[in-house]
Amino acid sequence: MTVSAAMQRYAAEIYRLQEDHEQVSLSLLGSHVESSAQAISIMVKRLNKSGYLVHEPYRGVRLTPAGEKIAMPALRRHRLTEVFLVQIMKYDWAAAHELSDVFERGVNEELEERMDHLTGHPTRCPHGEPIPSKAGVMPVVKDMPLIDAPSGSDCIISRVRTHNMEKLNYIGELGLVPGTPFHLLSCAPFKGPLRLQMKPQDHVIGYELAVSLWVEVAKQGTGNKLLPGKNA
């Protein structure tokens, strides 16, 4: 069966969402896909019939291994386009995701190759998300949510996992972009603030902002963690 570009885009969106959700509800999918409820239902049935996802009524959907495979080209195109928009066209990283949703639909294989070359064959998008290889292999990223890191840890921002433009602008103002190192001084309990020691100045951020940040821990501390299940 021929896999359409629309099927790839839906699979890619489900792939992104299922990283944070055991099952992706149709309402959640609908909030991230600009389509009617009827169009979403039709596409889910099509992907289910083709063996690309499993749909459990009243719970949601999850991709099969075959579904994850067809998601890779769309994920690669989207994230390469984000890099191109920011690095070459000088758009702000906060706007890159929404712009890429539109721009990428006109990108064919030739343009994708050119963008990959012009941007230096990137392995991460501007927000730190991994870019699948041309062969459809997703790089392994060994990171964790900042709220799971114990205080006293030396960390590096790995991914900024939000598409909210206001949050992205604020995170950018604080300098908490992928690749930035910092020392996690403390995590207050009950979803309290986190104190980050970094250059050129330290920052105190709230729980709502912290949940969007994923980090690579260079040296693990021995202090408390800001775990929702234990501290909420």
Express as a percent the part of the chain with pLDDT over 70: 96
Q: Report the pLDDT value the prediction gives residue 231, as an integer from 0 to 100.
A: 38
Pick among 2.30.30.90, 1.10.10.10, 3.30.2350.10, 3.30.56.10: CATH of 144-231: 2.30.30.90
Q: The whole model's pTM is what?
A: 0.88
Residues in the chain: 232
Q: Report the pLDDT value the prediction gives residue 226, as an integer from 0 to 100.
A: 55
Q: Distances from the Cα of 5 to the Cαs of 2, 11, 38, 48, 147, in angstroms?
A: 10, 10, 19, 16, 36
- pLDDT (tens digit per residue) in 66-125: 999 999 999 999 999 999 999 999 999 999 999 998 898 889 999 999 999 999 999 999
Q: Report the pLDDT value the prediction gives residue 73, as an integer from 0 to 100.
A: 95
Q: In this structure, are residues 122 and 131 in contact, taking their beta carbons and an 8 Å threshold?
A: yes
Q: Report the pLDDT value the prediction gives residue 232, as an integer from 0 to 100.
A: 33
C-alpha torsion 38→39→43→45, nearest 10:
10
Q: Report the pLDDT value the prediction gives residue 230, as an integer from 0 to 100.
A: 40
Q: Report the pLDDT value the prediction gives residue 190, as an integer from 0 to 100.
A: 84
Which CATH number applies to 5-68? 1.10.10.10
Q: In this structure, are residues 13 and 33 in contact, taking their beta carbons and an 8 Å threshold?
A: yes
* Longest distance between any two alpha carbons in the chain, whole Å: 55
Residue range 171-180: average pLDDT? 96
**Taking the alpha carbons of 149, 151, 154, 156 in that order, is the dihedral positive or negative?**
positive
Q: Distances from the Cα of 232 to the Cαs of 49, 106, 169, 204, in angstroms?
A: 41, 45, 27, 19
Q: End-to-end distance of the chain based on CA atoms, in angstroms?
A: 48
Amino acid, single-letter form, for residue 189: P
Burial string for 4-15 (b: 16+ CB within 10 Å, else e) reads eeebbbbbbbbb
> For tokens 């055991």, what's the residue?
22
Task: Identify the CA nearest to 79 among candidates 131, 5, 138, 134.
Answer: 131
Question: At 225, is the pLDDT very low, low, confident or very high (cuts 50, 70, 90)?
Answer: low
Q: Report helix, strand or coil for 153.
A: coil
Residue range 145-166: average pLDDT? 95
**Domain spans of the chain?**
5-68, 144-231
Q: In this structure, are residues 29 and 86 in contact, taking their beta carbons and an 8 Å threshold?
A: no
